[in-house]
Each structure stands twice: as structure tokens, then as C-alpha cells.
């Protein structure tokens, strides 16, 4: 069930690995999409805006958790690529210990502080209670977020991108049923939508855990391998924390932009919410390409094959460029129809804003493709610090949009926030890749291929 990405056609491997991941991200979007669609249709615009107003803080916290788990999987992929299975299992054991600790601390902090954070973000008074009800439950479910992302990350590190998708598909249908049951039958409001998301993700995480233990013989951790190892934990944190911070630093800019959007009123928030959900679907292929390149880069670094990394990058960029054109055409010709899935057709002004947001963002999807492909590839190669720096560039761009463009241009300024962020990030990531490539080639030429034992050296 594992896949060795160090031999064979890079284009074929990347395409074959990313397609299941694409469906995985697609089904993950169902968690958000179904919540939004059902809330918008059955609970009204204000409740739709209440869910949407939590989007940036959700990304700030949940993105940090997902980034940590993605970073944890990189040493696992390096060991798998190098054929060191005992070392790989020890890393997996330490991933489990660290994930449990991070989940406990983050859950306590976020559930205690979430209302105050919504107040700081200038959440409109008519939706703040609904926003709190929704995001508090999401934060309470952080342990299951760690469970799914940690287990699925390990499975993907071994080259299996299909199995996590199967479990996500099952849980997505469960999420739809629970949404309808909690919101319509039990009349739990937006809190019901949040509980449906948490329960569904928890089930998919448990399925991944059981599968990982039962089906991967090389992952069956022996008794002595469960012992916590401080050195391995430092290595894992050296990979995971920077990737988590990259998400969070990026999200700080999103929080500032969301705060600026909140000042435009709940209709603007509702438009961004609907557009964000649609955009999340359209961007799924880019997410899949990024995760693919992290695994591809990690395995080929472990195998000492830098030439294959360059070949894979070229192949993935071609895929990203082709899809960016398709996504733009969909936004232009179907944007209004897609918006009508979330909103009543009488809300013409909001629907028009949704279409505008989609077109502006899709016009810059090729820069987004480069952000995902290059950033995750650099991370997979073992240089996580660059992820933080790229996040700083994105944060600066969204902050600029929040403080300057939104006051000047209103909703069109909101729509330009992410495209500017992607361009800023690319301005850093493209030269960063050539630097990383040069450093890695020098190490390999000296016979000291980068390993997990020294992930931080020479990152700058």
C-alpha cells in the first residue's frame, strides 16, 4: 500500500498521488460547505454571516494544528525514503506523544479565549453570539483535528494517498446527515453544524488510526519504540512548529482582513463566507499539489536524488497552470449560479459580490498554485523556516488590504486581499527555492545528505 516516489516518471507519480488527495481535500470542504449551505438555507443570512465571521480565526487555530501535523510527517517520509523503518516507527511514536500534548494545551486556551477574540475582531453585535456558539464547539474538537491530520499525514508519508480519502468520503456523508438532524430536527442552530463537523472528523480520524495500525506492518510500533525521545521531539517540533506558525502568521493577516470586512456589515460578511466556501472547492487541486510535493520532496531528499526534485517541480507547475485556467472559466460563467446555492435568489447584491470575489481570486490562481507547490516542496525538503517567512509576506499583504484597500474601495478591496498575498509570497518563495536547491546540492556533493538529525542547520 506504500508508494515509493523516488523512482519512475515524476509527472505520472505526482498526478497519481495528487488525484486521491484532491478528492480528500474536496470531501474535507464538504464539512465547511454543507455547514454553510444548510445554515444559509435554513437559518438565514445572519447565521450564515455568524459562521463566516469565524473563518479567519478558525484558519488561525485549526491551520496551526494542521501545519504541525504536516511538519510531523516530514521526518517520517525522510526515514521511509531512506529505508530506515525502525527510525520511522520511533518518529511516529513521538508524533503521537506530541500531538496529544499540543491538542490538550491548544484546546484549553482557545475555548477560554474565543469570545474575547471575536470581540477584538469587531464581530457585528447581531451575529457575535452565533459566531461564538459555532467556533467554541470547533475549538472543543481540536483533539480530533490532531487525530485525523496526524494519522493521515503518516499514511501519506508512506505514499498512500487513497486511504484517507475513503474515510473522508464516509465521514462527509455522515456530516451531511448530522447537519440536517441537528439543525432541522433538534433545532440546535449553528452549534449543531459545528457538532456535525467535529463528530464526522473524529470518526474519519479513528478510521485512519485503526487502518494505520492494522494494515501497515512496518508501522507496528514495538514496545521499546514507544519511549519518548527528547531529540526526536526536538526534530519533530523543528519541522512541525514552523509549519504551524506559517499557517498562523498567514492567518493573522486574514484576521485583520476579516476585521475590516466586518466593518462593511453582515451582508459583506455573508458574501465573503459564500465565496470562501466556493473558492475552497476551486482551490482543492492546489492543496492536493502542495501536499503531494511535500511527500515527493521528502522521499527524494531521503533517497539523495535532487535531480528528481527539479523534475517534479516542473511537472507540478504545468499541472497547476492548466487547472488555473479552468478555475477562472468556472468562476466567470458559473459564479452567480454557485452563489445561489448558499443564498436566496432575491439577495442579488450579495450574489453579485460573491461572483466578483470569485473572479478576482481565480484570475490569480496561478500565483496561488506556485505558493502551494513551492512552499510545500521546500518544507518536504527539510527547510521549514522558509514557510514562516512566506507566511510573513502573506500577512503583510492582507494587512495592507485590511488597512488600506478595504477603506478605500470597500468590497473590491476585500476581494483583492488574497491575490496580493499570493503575489507577495511568490516574490519570496521563488528565489528561496533556488537557494534551498543550492544548499541541498552542496550537502549531497559533500556526502552529507540532510537528515532529520539536523533539520535546522543552513536553513537561511
Using one digit for the tens of pLDDT, what is the confidence trace for 212-257?
A: 888 877 777 887 888 888 888 998 888 888 778 877 777 778 778 8
Is 330 a residue whose pLDDT tops 70?
A: yes
Cα distance between residue 169 and residue 229, in whole Å: 35
The confidence score (pLDDT) of residue 33 equals 67
Residues above pLDDT 70, as percent of the chain: 93
> Which residue has better confidence, 192 or 362?
362
Of 76-90, 132-146, 263-277, 340-354, the poorest mean pLDDT is in 76-90
Q: Is the pLDDT of residue 141 over 80?
A: yes
Instruction: Return d(Cα 269, Cα 261) in angstroms, integer.
Output: 6
Alpha helices in 125-162 (DSSP H): 128-140, 142-157
Q: What angle do CA 24, 30, 32 make, to 5 degrees?
A: 120
Q: Judge whether 65 and 148 are in contact, CB under 8 Å.
A: no
pLDDT tops 50 at residue 454: no
What integer pLDDT is reported at residue 415 of this predicted model?
94
CB atoms within 10 A of CB 447: 7
| Residue among 287, 10, 316, 27 nearest 164 (CA) | 27
- DSSP letters of 74-108? HHHHHHHHHT-HHHHHHHHHHHHHHHHHHHHHHHH
> Taking all residues of the chain, what is their mean pLDDT, rounded to a whole number?
84
Whether the per-residue pLDDT at 329 is higher than 70: the answer is yes
- Rounded to two decimals, the pTM is 0.71
Task: List Cβ neighbours of 240 (8 Å cut-off, separation of 6 or more).
Answer: 67, 68, 69, 70, 71, 72, 98, 384
* pLDDT for the residue numbered 2: 59
pLDDT confidence of residue 456: 40
The CA–CA distances, whole Å, from 91 to 94, 95, 98, 132, 449 equal: 5, 6, 10, 37, 19
Q: Which of 294, 207, 227 is nearest to 91 (CA)?
A: 227
67-88 residue pLDDT tens: 888 888 888 877 887 777 888 8
Residue 448 confidence (pLDDT) above 70: no
The residues, ordered by sequence, that sit 6+ positions from 216 with a Cβ below 8 Å of its Cβ are 1, 2, 155, 158
Amino acid at each position: 500500500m506504500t508508494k515509493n516516489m523516488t523512482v519512475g516518471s515524476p509527472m505520472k507519480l505526482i498526478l497519481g498521488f495528487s488525484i486521491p488527495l484532491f478528492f480528500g481535500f474536496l470531501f474535507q470542504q464538504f464539512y465547511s460547505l454543507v455547514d454553510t449551505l444548510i445554515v444559509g438555507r435554513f437559518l438565514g443570512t445572519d447565521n450564515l454571516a455568524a459562521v463566516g465571521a469565524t473563518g479567519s480565526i478558525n484558519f488561525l487555530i485549526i491551520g496551526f494544528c494542521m501545519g504541525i501535523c504536516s511538519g510531523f510527517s516530514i521526518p517520517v517520509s525522510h526515514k521511509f525514503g531512506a529505508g530506515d523503518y525502525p527510525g520511522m516507527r520511533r518518529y511516529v511514536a513521538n508524533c503521537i506523544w506530541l500531538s496529544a500534548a499540543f491538542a490538550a494545551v491548544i484546546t484549553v486556551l482557545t475555548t477560554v479565549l474565543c469570545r474575547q477574540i471575536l470581540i477584538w475582531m469587531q464581530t457585528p453585535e447581531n451575529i457575535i453570539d452565533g459566531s461564538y456558539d459555532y467556533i467554541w464547539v470547533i475549538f472543543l474538537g481540536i483533539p480530533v483535528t490532531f487525530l485525523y491530520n496526524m494519522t493521515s499525514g503518516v499514511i501519506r508519508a508512506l505514499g498512500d494517498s487513497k486511504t484517507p480519502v475513503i474515510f473522508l468520503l464516509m465521514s462527509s456523508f455522515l456530516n451531511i446527515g448530522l447537519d440536517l438532524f441537528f439543525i432541522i430536527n433538534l433545532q440546535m442552530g449553528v452549534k449543531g453544524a459545528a457538532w456535525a463537523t467535529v463528530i464526522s472528523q473524529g470518526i474519519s480520524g479513528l478510521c485512519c488510526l485503526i487502518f494505520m495500525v492494522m494494515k501497515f506492518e512496518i508501522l507496528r510500533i514495538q514496545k521499546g519504540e514507544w519511549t519518548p525521545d527528547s531529540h526526536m521531539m526536538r526534530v519533530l517540533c523543528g519541522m512541525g512548529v514552523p509549519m504551524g506558525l506559517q499557517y498562523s502568521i498567514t492567518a493573522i493577516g486574514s484576521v485583520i482582513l476579516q476585521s475590516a470586512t466586518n466593518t462593511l456589515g453582515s451582508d459583506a460578511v455573508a458574501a465573503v463566507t459564500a465565496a470562501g466556501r466556493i473558492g475552497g472547492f476551486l482551490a482543492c487541486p492546489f492543496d492536493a499539489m502542495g501536499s503531494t510535493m511535500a511527500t515527493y520532496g521528502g522521499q527524494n531528499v531521503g533517497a539523495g536524488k535532487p535531480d528528481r526534485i527539479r523534475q517534479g517541480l516542473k511537472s507540478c507547475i504545468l499541472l497547476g497552470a492548466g487547472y488555473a485556467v479552468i478555475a477562472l472559466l468556472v468562476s466567470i460563467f458559473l459564479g452567480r449560479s454557485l452563489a445561489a446555492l448558499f443564498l436566496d435568489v432575491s439577495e442579488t447584491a450579495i450574489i453579485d459580490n460573491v461572483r466578483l470575489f470569485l473572479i478576482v481570486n481565480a484570475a490569480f490562481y496561478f500565483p496561488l498554485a506556485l505558493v502551494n507547490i513551492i512552499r510545500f516542496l521546500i518544507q518536504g525538503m527539510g527547510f521549514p523556516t522558509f514557510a514562516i517567512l512566506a507566511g510573513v509576506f502573506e500577512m503583510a499583504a492582507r494587512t495592507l488590504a485590511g488597512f488600506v484597500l478595504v477603506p478605500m474601495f470597500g468590497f473590491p478591496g476585500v476581494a483583492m486581499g488574497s491575490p496580493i498575498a499570493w503575489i507577495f509570497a511568490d516574490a519570496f518563495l521563488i528565489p528561496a527555492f533556488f537557494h534551498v536547491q543550492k544548499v541541498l546540492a552542496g550537502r549531497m556533493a559533500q556526502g552529507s545528505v540532510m537528515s532529520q538529525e539536523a533539520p535546522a542547520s543552513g536553513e537561511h
